[in-house]
Amino acid sequence: MNSTGATEMMNKTLMHCSMLPTQDLGTLFQRILMILEIVVGLPANIVALCIFCFHMKYWKPHTLFLFNLVLADFLLLMSVPFRIDANLRGENWVFGPTWCRINLFMLSVNRSASIAFMTAVAVDRYFKVVHPLHCVSRITLTQSALLSGLMWMAVIALRTPLLTINLLRQHGNISLCRSFSSYTVVPLVIKLHYVAFTVEFLLPWFLLLFCSARITCFLLKRQVGGQKKVRRAILAVGVITLVFTFCFMPSVLTGLGGVYIKYFHPKDCMSYNQITRVFVLCIGFTYFNSALDPIVYAFCSSMFRDAFKSFFSHLGYVKNNARADNTVTAEQHKLSDY
């Protein structure tokens, strides 16, 4: 079956409460948000990649997780310009059905990988702080590399079904490229995509809340390393949870709201279309996570901060000091990496 026939066939399963894309304030805000993500996030992640590849003197398991996190963020942001182009054209996709599938696949895979490695960083910190004698706390660099490989394989396998169906559909004179659409009869692949999108937020979110609470209680109770270092450690886990919640919760809540309206109030098309517009806007916030993650790198790794200072000192922007030369003690590194 050719691509035109596939598109026509898919269209028969679409369009619950048919709604044409509109150029309103929400669309403008989404456009500005995505452009901001590229302008801020892409250079920040390129710098982070350079730091990890050329200026990181010592590697630990959590450092490897952070490297995979920045790699996932970089690959995701490389796919966002195509969404900006579609937004500027009134949601009209001009790159064809094959690149539509690849683009949505790349966005989904790297969003899932970003969530996975952010969670891995938080769990690693939890065991290092609360259960330092546990076998997980003694994971080697080789073991963390194998675990990272398995995580990449898992998220790729989970999203591979997106490559098997035509996600491009005609809506009047507009070709829409979306993995989240107003299907009347939802294909199995898309159902799995919806479930994965929701579960990959909820499970890590509860895990992050648990790790953050336990680390905070443990450090406050023990008063490890003094008040300043305790506050820094608590702030680090708090930043991870806050960034994760801010970027992903709005899209999950609006998505679940749309599902509720569709199945329990199927004739309320006004409410359904309104929440769908908000959901599309909130999807843009999930990309913003990749722009904010460099803040996570800075808070979660003293070695990254040292390498960051070293990187800019070579450019003449920061003066070298003892800390930039990595002369801090092992105890300081251990606590500041919490």
- CA dist 79 and 290 (Å) reads 12
pLDDT score, position 242: 87
Say which residues have a Cβ less than 8 Å from residue 27's Cβ, sequence separation at least 6. 21, 87
Start-end of H helices in 265-326: 269-300, 302-314
| 315 vs 220, more confident | 220
**Domains in the chain and their CATH numbers?**
22-336 (1.20.1070.10)
pLDDT score, position 130: 84
Residue range 190-235, pLDDT digits in tens: 888 889 999 999 999 999 999 888 888 887 777 655 566 666 667 7
Residue range 142-201, pLDDT digits in tens: 999 999 999 999 999 999 999 998 888 887 788 889 887 666 677 888 888 889 999 999
Residue range 268-290, pLDDT digits in tens: 888 888 888 889 889 888 998 88
Please state the separation of Cα 151 from the chain's center in Å: 14
Task: Write a three-state SS string for 61-75.
Answer: HHHHHHHHHHHHHHH
CA distances from 45 to 5, 69, 289, 299 (A): 40, 10, 12, 15
175 phi and psi, to 5 degrees? -100, 110
56 phi and psi, to 5 degrees? -85, 110
pLDDT score, position 313: 65
- Does the pLDDT at position 123 exceed 80? yes
- Does the pLDDT at position 34 exceed 70? yes
Q: Round the average pLDDT of the chain to a whole number and report it.
A: 80
- Does the pLDDT at position 59 exceed 80? yes
pLDDT score, position 249: 93
- Does the pLDDT at position 99 exceed 90? yes
| 318 vs 324, more confident | 318
| 335 vs 170, more confident | 170
Q: Which amino acid is at 53?
A: C
pLDDT score, position 4: 47
pLDDT score, position 229: 61
- Does the pLDDT at position 332 exceed 80? no
Count the Cβ atoms, other than its own, within 10 Å of residue 47. Answer: 15
pTM of the model as a whole? 0.82
228 phi and psi, to 5 degrees? -65, -45
pLDDT score, position 110: 94
pLDDT score, position 230: 63
Range 300-316 average pLDDT:
65
Range 25-44 average pLDDT:
88
Sheet strands (E) in the chain: 168-171, 174-177
pLDDT score, position 152: 97
